[in-house]
Amino acid sequence: MANTAQKTATYKTGLEWLRARMEKLGYNSLEEVAQEIQINRGNLYRYFSLETRPSVALLPDLCRVLKASPADILKALEILGPNDRL
């Protein structure tokens, strides 16, 4: 668990976290990820740049496409703090 905490702490923004996930999963663009989630690329950008928050209904799709836990997604979106748990 400490290893995950260290990795999470290295990301300064939600966009950095998203870009790292995209790279790890082989996505080349926000457009690709947005299409998989079935949302607009601009909305995806706004969520992870913290301009706006996604609806709770979108969380399962974000988790599925980004292969991340709800807690990881919510931390990247700064809805949960780094030490918060679900």
* pLDDT at res. 10: 64
Amino acid identity of residue 8, one-letter, is: T
Q: Is the pTM of this model over 0.75?
A: yes
CA gap 3, 50 in Å, rounded? 25
Q: What are the angstrom distances between the C-alpha of 13 and each of 16, 23, 35, 58, 84?
A: 5, 16, 22, 20, 17
Query: Over its length of 86 residues, how does the chain's per-residue pLDDT go in tens digits?
Result: 444 444 444 677 999 999 999 999 999 999 999 999 999 999 999 999 999 999 999 999 999 999 999 999 999 999 999 888 88
Query: What are the residue ranges spanned by the domains of the chain?
Result: 13-76
Distance between CA 82 and CA 64 in Å, rounded? 21
Residue range 13-76, CATH number:
1.10.260.40
Please tell me the predicted confidence (pLDDT) of residue 85. 85
- Contact (Cβ atoms closer than 8 angstroms) between residue 58 and residue 34: no
